[in-house]
Chain A
Amino acid sequence: MIEAVRDAMDVAMGRDENVVVFGEDVGYFGGVFRCTQGLQEKYGSDRCFDSPINEGGIIGAAIGMAVYGMRPCVEIQFADYMYPGYDQLTQEAARIRYRSNGDFTVPMTVRMPTGGGIFGGQTHSQSPEALFAHVCGLKTVIPSNPVDAKGLLIASIEDEDPVIFMEPKRLYNGPFDGHHDRPVTPWKNHELGDVPEGYYKTPLGNAAVRREGREVTILTYGTMVHVALAATAETGVDAEVIDLRTILPLDFEAIEKSVRKTGRCVIVNEATKTCGFAAELMSIVMEGCFYHLEAPVTRVTGWDTPYPHSQEWEYFPGPARVGEALRNAMEAA
């Protein structure tokens, strides 16, 4: 998925001189996850460069450039480090169009690796997507595979509004289904690892059905898509797995169509539970599908604690917990 993300920036930079890429360690070195490797060499150091370690500065500078008319695509080294930039994001980037009546706009993309599964402890594992989705004026994208990552990132860069692009870091090197004790399978063996060359866009706001099913709908995104697929296979429950891909804008139709069909719904996100995005999805299902439901809607999430180091796999909502939720959904009358 690293190559897909890099390829997306490469394509976008090649097509549009206004696309610039910067962030901590992204220039010469090509980023701590190597997502920007080669871009400085190819496009020069005034289009891909290292920034000082100041996330508010990175996002504020990107806003300034966007307001000038460029399309910055900046990197925050880990989602856990976006907080010093949160003021610029939520109070500024998100509202500049609104407060200037469209006079100034902020077509920027803020990329950040998200999620756990790498023994990164509490400051390299967080999933703060709900903190973005809650802010009016931001879009939030979370791909689950390389093909989508490329198409969604190009679409994000070309979008006219600020987009938060969250890359599940545990997926960088292969689909991860939560079975941490099994060998890593690389993307090259996966159909969604076969990234088309050149330019293409995956529109924001369109969910993808990863597995069709009749018995229960699983609403999820990012790493948890693969966990949900594993849980489905292991329980034998005929679940329909919906990969939301973007949590804002959200594909209401796909959600409602599926839940109305299955009558059951399990929501899975890795982030903490209270006020997590699963809570929002649950409300949407209740509002749109209540009379179609045959079982209580449930959610499987990270616990409401900081992400622990050694208890990583007790914390991570893996296939066992998702499987249990599926069985419970099926057993409910």
Chain B
Amino acid sequence: MRMAYTACKSASKGVACRYPARPGSPRDKKEKGMSTTAANSPATEINADGPTSAEEPVEGSNEGHGGGSRRLSLFVPEPEFRPGDTPDFSDVPIPKAGSVRRPPIDVDAGDIHDLAYSIIRVLNRDGEAVGPWADLLTDGELVEGLRDMLRVRAFDARMLMAQRQGKTSFYVQALGEEAIACAFRRALKPGDMNFPTYRQQGLLLSTDYPMVDMMNQIYSNAADPLRGRQLPIMYSSKKHGFFTISGNLATQFMQAVGWAMASAIKGDDKIAAGWIGDGSTAENDFHSALVFASTYRAPVVLNIVNNQWAISTFQGIARGKAATFAARGLGFGIPSLRVDGNDYLAVYAVSKWAIDRARANHGPTLIEFVTYRAGAHSTSDDPSGYRPKAESEKWPLGDPIERVKAHLIKKGAWSEERHVQANAEVESAVLQVQKQAERHGTLHAGDKPSAREMFEDVYAETPAHLIRQRQEAGL
């Protein structure tokens, strides 16, 4: 049995789990030697991975081996493909849909270590839902899910264009990652609280949160619920279980655990969800969250969205050649699962499992959603400077919208025509809302929140020094 993780140890240039060594490469030889020692138990596999940096320059190195003469050198991980290269993921191990078991929700973390190294998938390449994680959603719910994702994509496209037209300063898309927030949201109950990053607009766009308010916020216009104070896309809505987004990475991950601990202290039945990107798992707050969550068995679901990139930095910089992101949870005794983040059904099933587990007071779960950031990091970024243009098309997990669509068509619950129509409906609805929002102004045109409002909400009651400053500003 060679699981995804076993192959990842062969990663050439430190690219980690995604890329096994090319046949015949020096690393490949090294890997073959190692694979004979790799046992099936994940714990043994970790050991088999051995030291990384010290082993790197073995082949072709003219330094002596094993003796005292060998000099140290710094290992700096590099992605397999850079601009100009032809990305090829054909040898990336993707476990078969339906092949990963589904444990009971009160399982011990120690009994499911393998789930942190595999990828839970439901939709197979033929569009069928298979295996123990399948069949949790009705066709009607799936059609709603599909519409949610279409809405996120259409919303992103409009707002991206609005930014290009100078109607706002900044935008962040979730292109290719729509399934994750949308399906997770479906598994939550009212009153649960998300502590999101800037890439979980799907959490709001799949609820009844008014889309126009999101646009008003993006435009910092007169109707902006956040009164022009926040950078675009940094939404906030307690009512919709969406904690105010911070620009400082990872802080929310720990706060989610605190919220969950409060729910436990108060004997409530609400759970929290923390969200973080692959790159941001490097921050201290990520580790703080794991230690608190495991210590107090907090009713929290800790979500890592591994979209392979953190601005220009590939995921290997956040974890080197070590294990998977999900595996970070194992040392804390937190059940840790890896999921195909582009598979709406799998995302829903695993989210539901973890949410049910938290609500049943069995404690935290760490989930790694494996996906790919198909767009630029933000409107301030141009990925052609650091990764091949074709990389996102070549990404082996496909497009989340296309996959649900194919599944529904296969089942006879959907058709190309209905899809085209649904997409047109969504796009026109988004456009209508955009017009409505723009009546309240855009960043540099029309009405905007008053300057006076920048002095409000610094404190519950405005202290004397701020009143003086406001007067000095003539406001």
Chain A residues engaging chain B, CB cutoff 8 angstroms: 24-25, 27-29, 32, 45-46, 49-54, 56-57, 80-81, 83-84, 119-124, 273-274, 303-306, 308-311, 314-315
- How far apart sit A124 and B384, CA to CA, in the bound complex (Å)? 24
- Which of A53, A83, A304, A309 touches B280 (beta carbons < 8 Å)? A53
Identify the stretch in B129-137, B230-238, B390-398 within 8 Å (CB) of chain A at 4 or more residues. Answer: B230-238
Closest to A20 in B: B74
Q: Assuming A122-B247, A309-B228, A309-B230, is B318 touching A314 (CB within 8 A)?
A: no
Within 8 A of A (CB), among B128-182: 169-170
Is the C-beta of B62 less than 8 angstroms from some C-beta in chain A? no
In the complex, per-residue mask of B272-291: 1 if CB is within 8 Å of any chain A CB, else 0: 00000001101111000000
- How far apart sit A51 and B310, CA to CA, in the bound complex (Å)? 11
In the complex, per-residue mask of B218-245: 1 if CB is within 8 Å of any chain A CB, else 0: 0010001000111110100000000000
Is the C-beta of B429 less than 8 angstroms from some C-beta in chain A? no
Q: In the bound complex, do residue A122 and residue B385 qualify as a contact, i.e. CB atoms below 8 Å apart?
A: no
Q: In the bound complex, do residue B455 and residue A123 qualify as a contact, i.e. CB atoms below 8 Å apart?
A: no
Across-interface contacts of A305 in B (CB, < 8 A): 454-455, 458, 466
Q: In the bound complex, do residue A122 and residue B454 qualify as a contact, i.e. CB atoms below 8 Å apart?
A: no
In the complex, per-residue mask of B42-79: 1 if CB is within 8 Å of any chain A CB, else 0: 00000000000000000000000000000001101010
Q: In the bound complex, do residue B284 and residue A54 qualify as a contact, i.e. CB atoms below 8 Å apart?
A: yes
- Which of B73, B228, B312 touches A29 (beta carbons < 8 Å)? B312
- Which of B234, B386, B455 touches A121 (beta carbons < 8 Å)? B234
Is the C-beta of B469 less than 8 angstroms from some C-beta in chain A? yes
Q: In the bound complex, do residue A50 and residue B169 qualify as a contact, i.e. CB atoms below 8 Å apart?
A: no
In the complex, per-residue mask of B442-456: 1 if CB is within 8 Å of any chain A CB, else 0: 010000110101110
Across-interface contacts of A274 in B (CB, < 8 A): 465
- How far apart sit A275 and B387, CA to CA, in the bound complex (Å)? 45
Q: Assuming A45-B76, A273-B469, is B313 touching A24 (CB within 8 A)?
A: yes
In the A-B complex, the 4 residue pairs with the closest CB atoms: A123-B247, A121-B231, A310-B228, A310-B220
Closest to A78 in B: B247
Q: In the bound complex, do residue A24 and residue B311 qualify as a contact, i.e. CB atoms below 8 Å apart?
A: yes
Within 8 A of A (CB), among B72-127: 73-74, 76, 78, 82
Across-interface contacts of A51 in B (CB, < 8 A): 317
- How far apart sit A54 and B318, CA to CA, in the bound complex (Å)? 9
- Which of A27, A119, A122 touches B169 (beta carbons < 8 Å)? A119
Q: In the bound complex, do residue A123 and residue B318 qualify as a contact, i.e. CB atoms below 8 Å apart?
A: no
- How far apart sit A173 and B250, CA to CA, in the bound complex (Å)? 30
Q: In the bound complex, do residue B380 and residue A32 qualify as a contact, i.e. CB atoms below 8 Å apart?
A: yes
Q: In the bound complex, do residue B451 and residue A311 qualify as a contact, i.e. CB atoms below 8 Å apart?
A: yes
Across-interface contacts of A80 in B (CB, < 8 A): 247-248
A-B residue pairs in contact (CB < 8 Å), sample of 29: A24-B311, A24-B313, A27-B76, A28-B312, A28-B386, A29-B311, A29-B386, A32-B380, A45-B76, A46-B73, A49-B76, A50-B317, A51-B317, A52-B318, A53-B280, A53-B283, A83-B248, A84-B248, A84-B283, A119-B443, A121-B170, A121-B247, A123-B231, A124-B247, A304-B458, A304-B466, A309-B169, A309-B230, A314-B473
- Which of A28, A54, A83, A314 touches B451 (beta carbons < 8 Å)? A314
Closest to B232 in A: A309
Most chain A beta carbons < 10 A, residue from B78, B312, B455: B312
Q: Assuming A120-B231, A309-B220, is B454 touching A25 (CB within 8 A)?
A: no
Q: In the bound complex, do residue B282 and residue A310 qualify as a contact, i.e. CB atoms below 8 Å apart?
A: no
Is the C-beta of B246 less than 8 angstroms from some C-beta in chain A? yes
- How far apart sit A32 and B386, CA to CA, in the bound complex (Å)? 12
Across-interface contacts of A83 in B (CB, < 8 A): 248
Chain B's interface size range is 35 or more
Tally A-B pairs: CB < 8 A: 128
Chain B residues engaging chain A, CB cutoff 8 angstroms: 73-74, 76, 78, 82, 169-170, 220, 224, 228-232, 234, 246-250, 279-280, 282-285, 310-313, 317-318, 380-381, 385-386, 443, 448-449, 451, 453-455, 458, 465-466, 469-470, 473, 475
Most chain A beta carbons < 10 A, residue from B280, B443, B455: B455
Q: In the bound complex, do residue B313 and residue A303 qualify as a contact, i.e. CB atoms below 8 Å apart?
A: no
- How far apart sit A81 and B248, CA to CA, in the bound complex (Å)? 7
Q: Assuming A46-B74, A52-B282, is B449 touching A311 (CB within 8 A)?
A: yes
Across-interface contacts of A52 in B (CB, < 8 A): 279, 282, 317-318
| Chain B: minimal CB distance from A263 (Å) | 24
Closest to A273 in B: B469
Across-interface contacts of B385 in A (CB, < 8 A): 29
Most chain A beta carbons < 10 A, residue from B231, B282, B475: B231
Across-interface contacts of A119 in B (CB, < 8 A): 169-170, 443
Q: In the bound complex, do residue A54 and residue B246 qualify as a contact, i.e. CB atoms below 8 Å apart?
A: no
- How far apart sit A310 and B218, CA to CA, in the bound complex (Å)? 10
Q: In the bound complex, do residue A45 and residue B78 qualify as a contact, i.e. CB atoms below 8 Å apart?
A: yes
Most chain B beta carbons < 10 A, residue from A46, A81, A314: A314
Across-interface contacts of A24 in B (CB, < 8 A): 310-311, 313
Known contacts A81-B248, A84-B284; 16 further A-B pairs (Cβ under 8 A): A24-B310, A27-B76, A46-B74, A54-B284, A119-B443, A121-B234, A122-B230, A122-B231, A123-B231, A303-B470, A303-B473, A306-B229, A308-B228, A309-B229, A310-B224, A311-B229
- How far apart sit A309 and B220, CA to CA, in the bound complex (Å)? 8
- How far apart sit A310 and B475, CA to CA, in the bound complex (Å)? 16
Closest to A315 in B: B454
- How far apart sit A50 and B453, CA to CA, in the bound complex (Å)? 40
- How far apart sit A308 and B76, CA to CA, in the bound complex (Å)? 39
Across-interface contacts of B230 in A (CB, < 8 A): 121-122, 309
- How far apart sit A306 and B285, CA to CA, in the bound complex (Å)? 22
Closest to A124 in B: B247
- How far apart sit A309 and B74, CA to CA, in the bound complex (Å)? 42
| Chain B: minimal CB distance from A41 (Å) | 12
Across-interface contacts of B73 in A (CB, < 8 A): 46
- How far apart sit A36 and B73, CA to CA, in the bound complex (Å)? 22
